[in-house]
Amino acid sequence: MVLDLSKVRHCDILTQEIKDSFGGFLTESLNPAFLSELLTALPEAAVLRSPDERRPYECDGLSAYRMLPGVVVLPDTLEQVRSVMELCQAYSVPVVARGAGTGLSGGATPHPEGVLLSMARFNQILSVDLLACTARVQPGVRNLAISEAVAAHGLYYAPDPSSQIACTIGGNVAENAGGVHCLKYGLTVHNVLAAEVVLMDGEVIEIGGETLDQPGYDLMAAFIGSEGMLGVVTEITVRLLPTPPTAKVLMAAFESVEEAASAVADIIAAGIIPAGLEMMDTPAIIAAEDFVQAGYPRDAAAILLCELDGTQSEVDAEMEAVSALLLECGARSVNIARDESERERFWSGRKNAFPAVGRISPDYYCIDGTIPRRALGEVLKGISQLASEYGLRVANVFHAGDGNLHPLILYDSGKPGEFERTEALGAKILQLCVSVGGTISGEHGIGLEKIDQMCVQFGQNELEQFHLLKAVFDPNGLLNPGKAVPTLARCAEFNAMHVHKGKLAHPELPRF
């Protein structure tokens, strides 16, 4: 069974229409017998039942989608997690796992008649192997805490999403998080070696391993980015890297977004792989500069931040080559950070771009799509045209090196119809990404936000395979239902409305 939460944004009350749309899956309250057994399996303080206790868990960072969970549990042992899963399986109760709630696609939106399984108390770094350069951690450990714990040994954990000070490694695994340094060092999937997972029936499995290859199917790749739909991760082994001896960043200012976008492709074409290559346009530049005084030129149409790391000689040579290339590409200025303090200041503007934009608009909606680098200029021009068409402002902040866009649509939820117009613009931007050979997500996942755009990205046969994979691990569809992978019937209706102009793409499919 699946849950469609598209009708419950901005509300907490389940209308009869919404109940009906759930196909009778909902009940008026949690089964008393289930709740009684839950209170036996966990300490009473670890089971949150009152509305006030449950309210903080009603949404993730994409706060447009809200729903009060049926009950919240906070286990702190593997056995407690197993007990929760076994009970939910026995009573057919949905389970939504949650990390720090910093996700941006509605993936942790709770089920109103289900269990919100918070992994916040699994927050220990269990061991560090300095010879193997690995760390074994629990899923509630903050991303940045891993690097802080091993910094004295000259090591760090590479994936660094902008929310790394708060987001957890378990959430990173669920969404396959990246960050500003993912161009050179990869996403979460490239930096996690093994995991302990509790399946829906309470079985505990080990996937991956600390060797370069494992026998059998690559289940790590399947679980990373699966958005909590296959199992609940309770332990993770991550790869640690030596801290580069030298890292320098430069900032290049451009008079046009197109020139900056072209420069990105030219840098990669020259055989140089920066540790990070980020781009911001004028609205984002001004917002960040007003917020943190990073030293950004407020009158530039776009800036590029390019970080190079390695040995001193490597960095110096590549910095000289990149500087010359950027000037050839039309940069009006290229400034190399003079010291570590200025390097951190340059990055502070980028790292704080989202909260900075939040200061200039009552609300903003963050889009996450990925495109080929060659299409950067074309897509940015298309975003500008779409923004004008919908009468909304857009600030662009993105990982330019790997084409991962983060357009921020500025809107006011207090104005009737403006959020709906914002959603429509976001959908058009994602469809634009697909049209140039890109994808509808780079690191934020699908969740609820992009489930209709999955019907644009994938065909019927592909979606069927996704459902078959989920059924192997969760045959009753209880783990994070209604997220990430749409039903074929939903796509048939979406395509009829948006693609085939009223004609069903697959009229033979059941309507449920």
Residue 168 has pLDDT above 50, yes or no: yes
Kindly state whether residues 142 and 195 are assigned to the same domain: yes
Nearest of 450, 505, 512, 461 to residue 487 by alpha carbon? 512
The dihedral through the CA atoms of 208, 188, 429, 414 has a sign that is positive
pLDDT at 64: 85
Could you report the per-residue pLDDT of 320-373, keeping only the tens digit for each? 999 999 999 999 999 999 999 999 999 999 999 999 999 999 999 999 999 999
pLDDT (mean) for 72-76 = 98
pLDDT at 499: 55
Comparing 22 with 313, the larger pLDDT belongs to 313
Provide the mean pLDDT of the chain: 91
Judge contact between 83 and 202, C-beta under 8 A. yes
CB atoms under 10 Å from CB of 56, counted, come to 11
Kindly state whether residues 238 and 131 are assigned to the same domain: yes
pLDDT at 12: 38
pLDDT at 498: 74
Tokens of 68: 């009060």
Kindly state whether residues 233 and 289 are assigned to the same domain: no
Q: Which residues contact 95 (CB under 8 A, 6 or more apart)?
A: 84, 85, 88, 111, 114, 115, 117, 200, 232, 478, 479, 480
Kindly state whether residues 366 and 424 are assigned to the same domain: yes
pLDDT at 484: 96
Kindly state whether residues 76 and 107 are assigned to the same domain: yes
Residue 497 has pLDDT above 50, yes or no: yes
Q: How far apart are CA 189 and CA 178, in angstroms?
A: 9
Residue 25 has pLDDT above 70, yes or no: no
Tokens of 51: 């509305």
Q: Does the residue 448 lie in any domain?
A: no
Could you report the per-residue pLDDT of 229-282, keeping only the tens digit for each? 999 999 999 999 999 999 999 999 999 999 999 999 999 999 999 999 999 999
Could you report the per-residue pLDDT of 117-147, keeping only the tens digit for each? 999 999 999 999 999 999 999 999 999 999 9
CB atoms under 10 Å from CB of 96, counted, come to 28
Q: How far apart are CA 279 and CA 396, in angstroms?
A: 8
Comparing 8 with 108, the larger pLDDT belongs to 108
Kindly state whether residues 176 and 158 are assigned to the same domain: yes
Tokens 């080929």 appear where? Answer: 372
Q: Does the residue 447 lie in any domain?
A: no
Could you report the per-residue pLDDT of 192-237, keeping only the tens digit for each? 999 999 999 999 999 999 887 888 899 999 999 999 999 999 999 9
Residue 27 has pLDDT above 60, yes or no: no
Kindly state whether residues 140 and 217 are assigned to the same domain: yes
How large a percentage of the chain has pLDDT more than 90? 87
Comparing 9-13, 70-74, 150-154, 494-498, the range with the smallest average pLDDT is 9-13
If one counts the domains in the chain, the total is: 5
Residue 406 belongs to a domain with what CATH number? 3.30.70.2740
Judge contact between 377 and 262, C-beta under 8 A. yes
Judge contact between 179 and 350, C-beta under 8 A. no
Q: Does the residue 3 lie in any domain?
A: no
pLDDT at 29: 62
Last residue of a domain, one of 323, 355, 387: 355
Last residue of a domain, one of 211, 242, 273: 242
HSE of 378, CA atoms in CB hemisphere, 13 A: 14
Q: What angle do CA 488, 494, 496 make, to 5 degrees?
A: 105
pLDDT at 481: 96
Dihedrals phi, psi of 333, to nearest 5 degrees: -155, 150
Q: Does the residue 82 lie in any domain?
A: yes
CB atoms under 10 Å from CB of 357, counted, come to 23
Nearest of 260, 266, 338, 341 to residue 305 by alpha carbon? 260
Q: Which residues contact 228 (CB under 8 A, 6 or more apart)?
A: 96, 97, 107, 108, 174, 479, 480, 483
Q: How far apart are CA 26 and CA 67, in angstroms?
A: 14
- CA 104 to chain centroid, in Å, comes to 6
Q: Does the residue 4 lie in any domain?
A: no
Residue 500 has pLDDT above 90, yes or no: no
Judge contact between 399 and 182, C-beta under 8 A. yes
Q: How far apart are CA 61 and CA 59, in angstroms?
A: 7
pLDDT at 495: 84
Kindly state whether residues 236 and 257 are assigned to the same domain: no
Kindly state whether residues 146 and 202 are assigned to the same domain: yes
Kindly state whether residues 158 and 83 are assigned to the same domain: no
Kindly state whether residues 21 and 93 are assigned to the same domain: yes
pLDDT at 9: 41
Residue 40 belongs to a domain with what CATH number? 3.30.43.10
Instruction: Write a three-state SS string for 214-282.
Output: CCCCCHHHHHCCCCCCCCEEEEEEEECEECCCEEEEEEEEECCHHHHHHHHHHHHHCCCCCCEEEEEEH
Last residue of a domain, one of 99, 118, 137: 118
Which residues constitute the domain of residue 286?
Answer: 246-355
Residue 501 has pLDDT above 70, yes or no: no
Could you report the per-residue pLDDT of 113-124, keeping only the tens digit for each? 999 999 999 999
Q: Does the residue 2 lie in any domain?
A: no
Q: Does the residue 442 lie in any domain?
A: no
Kindly state whether residues 109 and 49 are assigned to the same domain: yes
Residue 10 has pLDDT above 60, yes or no: no
Q: Does the residue 280 lie in any domain?
A: yes
Q: How far apart are CA 239 and CA 113, in angstroms?
A: 38
Residue 278 belongs to a domain with what CATH number? 3.30.70.2190
Q: How far apart are CA 475 and CA 491, in angstroms?
A: 21
